[in-house]
Structure 1
Amino acid sequence: MHQLLVFRDQKLLNHALTHRSYINENPHTQTHNERLEFLGDALLNFLSGEYLYSLYPEKEEDELTRMRSALVNELQLAEFARDVGIPEKMLLGKGAILEKGQENPNLLSSTFEALVGAYYLDSNSDVEAVRLVVQPLFNSVAEDIVAYSSNLDIKNTFQEWVQHNISPKPPQYVTLQISGLSHNPVFLSKVLVNGKQFGEGRGNSKKQAEKAAARNALSNKDALLKIHK
């Protein structure tokens, strides 16, 4: 069992894992986890900022801000929730279970935040105790976060290359397909330059797919330049 799920006060642990939908169907249970979610969100923003500030002394404020956003965004926190074993322990209402709430990134990330807040309280409000359990999670994705933040402006980079080398007109992005489950869709997009396809990419949102398409186009830009001239 992950250390983040080891509590002295089991009632506090259950509180952190209890979604509002469970309260609605189990009136004897009085408390859902939304206040703890608020506390955990504040802790994670502070700890992630401190972590990145110490780890990357050469980076400026704007890049650190982008990296922090990536480190504690909904999808990343949902991954942390899976890593520590939260899905099978969440207390959800029957409707939420039928809708596969245990796989919903929003519910997972919210529960992870609540768990962090509860762990802080269970540790006598000791930030160091929370730092010790979340830092290994941060370490596990630090390199990916750097790569992600460096790609946040990938569409702008590709547009500048296009306008410098091919055409003053900006690239156009077209969504080709949306597949997957309703709560976890997969978008397929292509990027066109003067009506010709330069790249293709997938992502869990339209923006992510477009960035992946721009990245794909840039990785093949020299060959594509010869073909499309």
Structure 2
Amino acid sequence: MNAAKLESIIGYRFRNIDLLERALTHRSWTHENRRSESDNESLEFLGDSVLGLAIAEHLFTEFPDAAEGELTQMKHRLVSMPTLASIASSIGLGDFIGLGRGEEASGGREKPAILADALEAVIGAVFIDGGYIEARSFIVRLFRPELKRIAPDRVADHKSRLQELLDRK
């Protein structure tokens, strides 16, 4: 893995590069190589929570008059697997993930779930390495294109829109 290249792409320089390496180690790699090193699953768990908090904080600040339901819908869309996978793909994160031979052969570098999980793990690693403020800045920077497209009136799903229309009538 070329850590310096990835750091340049994501705009964050790790103090502890081992965290980045762990964030990009899929369980298939550790299993096939019979290594005792940790995979990225616990960092993914942490990153998911940090991501949710940072996005919720950003939306709360950006849309102070939005209803709770609107904020929830916006957050749900932003932290969804398709959005995470799209962002991970846009920065080429798949090229840096350590995969086992089987996962590699089955196209693991392009699988949305693997990409989304790896991005969450990187977020967790940034949080451990630099704290919440650094992680929040990192998230807002990575999610900027998505954050520009989101607005309370654009997030309701069709079922919610129908329900709102029926409620008004």
TM-score, with structure 2 as normaliser: 0.84
Other-structure match for 2:155: 149
CA–CA distance in 2 between the matches of 1:4 and 1:97? 27
Give the CA deviation at 1:121: 1.1
1:45 aligns with 2:38: no
Higher Cα Rg, which structure: 1
Q: Please give the per-residue CA displacement for 1:24-79, whole angstroms capped at 9, x wherever unaligned.
A: 11113521011101110110010000000011112100110010000010010111
Give the CA deviation at 1:142: 2.1
Greater helix fraction, Structure 1 or Structure 2: 2
Give the CA deviation at 1:17: 0.2
How has the CA–CA distance of structure 1 residues 33 and 81 changed in structure 2, closer, same or farther, with 3 Å as cutoff? Answer: same
CA–CA distance in 2 between the matches of 1:81 and 1:19? 15
How has the CA–CA distance of structure 1 residues 65 and 119 changed in structure 2, closer, same or farther, with 3 Å as cutoff? Answer: same
CA–CA distance in 2 between the matches of 1:18 and 1:73? 21
CA–CA distance in 1 between the matches of 2:84 and 2:42? 17
Query: Which residue of 18, 32, 35 corresponds with 1:25?
Result: 32
Count how many residue pairs are aligned between Structure 1 and Structure 2. 158
Identity, % of aligned positions? 32
Code of the aligned partner of 2:108: G
Give the CA deviation at 1:110: 0.6
1:134 aligns with 2:139: yes
Other-structure match for 1:94: 101
C-alpha RMSD of matched pairs (Å): 2.2
How has the CA–CA distance of structure 1 residues 148 and 105 changed in structure 2, closer, same or farther, with 3 Å as cutoff? Answer: farther
Code of the aligned partner of 2:78: L
TM-score, with structure 1 as normaliser: 0.63
SS in 1 for 2:155: helix
